Amino acid sequence: MSVMRWRRLVLLASMSLRRPEAAGGMEDVLSRSVPPLPAYETKEKSPPPPEAQGLGFMRYYAALERPERAACLARLAAGFGVDHAAVAELSGKVPQVQQQREPGALLQLEDRLRYYLNPQYKLLFSHLSRLDGGMKFLVDLRADILESLAAKLAEGPHLREMNGVLRSMLSEWFSVGFLNLERVTWQSSCELLQKISEYEAVHPVRNWTDMKRRVGSYRRCYAFFHSAMPGEPLIVLHVALTNQISNNIQSIVKEVSTSEAEDANKITSAIFYSISSTQQGLQGVELGTYLIKRVVKELQGEFSQIEQFSSLSPIPGFTKWLLGELTSQMKESGRNGLFTDLECKEISDITGGPVTETLKKLLTTSEWTKSDRLVKALEMPLMRLVAWYLYGEKHRGFALNPVANFHLQNGAVMWRINWMADTSPRGVTLSCGMMVNYRYFLQDTSTNSARYLRMKHIEASEQVLNLVSQFQKNSKL
């Protein structure tokens, strides 16, 4: 698009924005911006709305404050949805056409019905997706929808339905065939490196030296990009290239020389230690699974000798779950379902107080890790509790923990739970310092994934199963 044409479109958009605001505000803006659903007979021949119309809506929406955006989304969802009268009329004709036993007529009627089941705002989204910056606008728009629903700024079935429609559209536009895999290096643009640093959600980047290390020797950083959102990573995966399956994050993100030359002979394992989605609006659009599969192929092509693929994953939610169980115990006086009598005595001797009440206070901070005696006393009970949390706690039959559910869906094995694997304040606070390896045995991932998705079966190692067995023997929830 030429600069002159872009300026002309922006000028027209500004004019189209001012006119509806003067005439009646949000309702007029939406009425002018959302194209009507063309008649079925002319659906292939109707011209697209002027680009200035879509640009006007984008400018109008971007200028709104948070509550106004929620109101705009709610009105768009409720007032520009499906033509229910047309759907009802066509649905009423189905039994009659079925009785005529004319397959062609029935198929045509069903096609017409499918067409009129499209909400009117879907045309607006399709139009915006073709504009410069339109795809990013729609991703951010869905993020606003999710925020409005979560914060209850706007509610109702219409907004939830619009969220589902837009998610479905984004799933098609961001399918793996339209994504580009790129490796991020220290030679990548400063802007991109800054974004990778800011988007890191698992192990925060400390400084530029830390960032240089994460894209340097024995490390790989990959991201998916979309041509409609240039320079904007959609999901980022960090990989450590090692000679064994890592059991702690300190050895991966520690401060070491960034100039060390890479020796391929020392690389036999690939550890996925961080995967971060960068776009809230793409929540529910599957990208992580495909990213890992693509990265595995890239690494196999670069290092044919790599034999082991594994994650080193955090366990978000464990401390919160454990505190909830401790609270339940406090409400049931005298009940102890988490620790053995011997463990209770040992912990009480160290802390000088009742186990349940004391641990509820201690586990909200990382201070307890400064006591070697307490760290040793808590190792066995917390290891078996986290094993049960990962393996036994379910949501609709699947693993309750979202990270576990993600890797198990991919066909990984719940392979090893690691004590004091993340001693950072964040790691201790979220998961009592523990991390877990989900190991990818490439020849078994398809089978494991199918068994998990169809039968809710979790493939786990002997270590994990032994810890689960100990929990079942010593704990009563």
407 catalytic per annotation: yes
Evaluate the CA torsion angle 129, 287, 154, 79 in order and state its sign: positive
Question: DSSP H helical segments within 51-155, as ranges?
Answer: 51-62, 66-79, 84-99, 103-116, 121-129, 134-151
Contact by Cβ (8 Å): 52, 60:
no
Cα(102)–Cα(423) distance, integer angstroms: 70
Question: DSSP H helical segments within 261-317, as ranges?
Answer: 288-302
Contact by Cβ (8 Å): 16, 52:
yes
313 catalytic per annotation: yes
Neighbour count for residue 413 (Cβ, 10 Å): 21
> What are φ and ψ of residue 395, in 5° steps?
-130, 110
Cα(176)–Cα(463) distance, integer angstroms: 35
- Token digits of residue 221: 């950083």
Evaluate the CA torsion angle 383, 388, 390, 391 in order and state its sign: positive
Catalytic residue among 238, 246, 407, 431: 407
**DSSP structure class, residue 186:** T
Catalytic residue among 313, 333, 366, 457: 313
Positions marked active-site = 313, 407
